[in-house]
């Protein structure tokens, strides 16, 4: 961490804890460190059989607030101030990482949907869209993610509009621990979205079944055998 950045952090008493937390960038080191979010390890979900119809679902590229669009990992030094690391960077575009991980997580977790790969035809698909307003470390020793997500039908009508608000404590000091905590938080977000989407699909199916007219079969209209002789 540069002298000017360290001085800047020390202006706030709250920033002292963050400075200690991210001590991996101290010591006058000039090496640049690159990070990717950890891959999620989860067992595959038992999908519906091929005979059952599965709803196609696309995942739109994750939209980030402008201060998150740089290559540096962001941390919050006070309730109102944010800083972007100069030596601790994302190895790959953050939006692409988040989108890819969410797509994979939903594909594993969703029972009702077929999650479409990048480049697939999405004209008849539902769509999940997410905008993140926060994705950073925070001065209280937590990784935080905030934003909103929407589910749209194939005609672009909004089916769901929900908030995202997840925080995960760091297990130890340093940027590696921060990235790991952000990865855990993102998997919690994916789990919450999957549960909500599955619940919405189940409720929609129940509503459709309840509104379907009951048809009386011909066999039910036939008189019992021998009834005409009575």
Q: What are phi and psi of 144, to 5 degrees?
A: -125, 140
For residue 26, pLDDT beyond 80: no
What's the CATH number of domain 3-211, 3.60.110.10, 3.90.226.10, 3.40.190.290, 3.40.50.10610? 3.40.50.10610
pLDDT of 52 reads: 59
Distance CA 171, CA 168 (A): 9
Pairing of strands 55-59, 126-138: parallel
Task: Yes or no: say if 190 and 198 are a contact pair by the CB < 8 Å rule.
Answer: no
What is the tens place of the pLDDT at every residue in 6-15?
A: 334 334 444 4
For residue 37, pLDDT beyond 50: yes
pLDDT of 210 reads: 86
Compute how many other C-beta atoms are within 10 angstroms of the C-beta atom of residue 215.
Answer: 6
Q: What are phi and psi of 228, to 5 degrees?
A: -75, -20
- Domain extent listing, the chain: 3-211
pLDDT of 209 reads: 85
pLDDT of 18 reads: 53
What is the tens place of the pLDDT at every residue in 58-110?
A: 999 999 999 999 999 999 999 999 999 999 999 999 999 999 999 999 999 99
Compute how many other C-beta atoms are within 10 angstroms of the C-beta atom of residue 91.
Answer: 13
């Amino acid at each position: 961490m540069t002298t000017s950045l360290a001085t800047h952090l020390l202006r706030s008493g709250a920033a002292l804890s963050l400075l200690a937390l991210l001590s991996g960038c101290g010591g006058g080191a000039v090496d640049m460190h690159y990070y990717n979010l950890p891959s999620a390890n989860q067992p595959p979900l038992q999908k519906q059989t091929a005979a059952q119809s599965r709803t196609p679902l696309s995942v739109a590229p994750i939209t980030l607030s402008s201060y998150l669009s740089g290559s540096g990992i962001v941390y919050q030094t006070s309730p109102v101030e944010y800083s972007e690391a100069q030596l601790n960077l994302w190895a790959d575009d953050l939006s692409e990482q988040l989108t890819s991980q969410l797509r994979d997580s939903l594909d594993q977790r969703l029972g009702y949907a077929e999650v479409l790969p990048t480049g697939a035809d999405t004209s008849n698909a539902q769509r999940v869209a997410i905008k993140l307003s926060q994705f950073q470390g925070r001065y209280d020793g937590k990784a935080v993610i905030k934003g909103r997500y929407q589910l749209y039908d194939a005609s672009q009508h909004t089916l769901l509009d929900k908030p995202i608000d997840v925080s995960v404590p760091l297990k130890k000091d340093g940027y590696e621990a921060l990235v790991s905590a952000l990865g855990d938080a993102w998997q919690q977000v994916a789990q919450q979205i999957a549960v909500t989407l599955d619940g919405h699909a189940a409720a929609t199916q129940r509503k459709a079944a309840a509104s379907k007219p009951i048809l009386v079969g011909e066999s039910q209209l036939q008189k019992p055998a021998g009834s005409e002789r009575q």
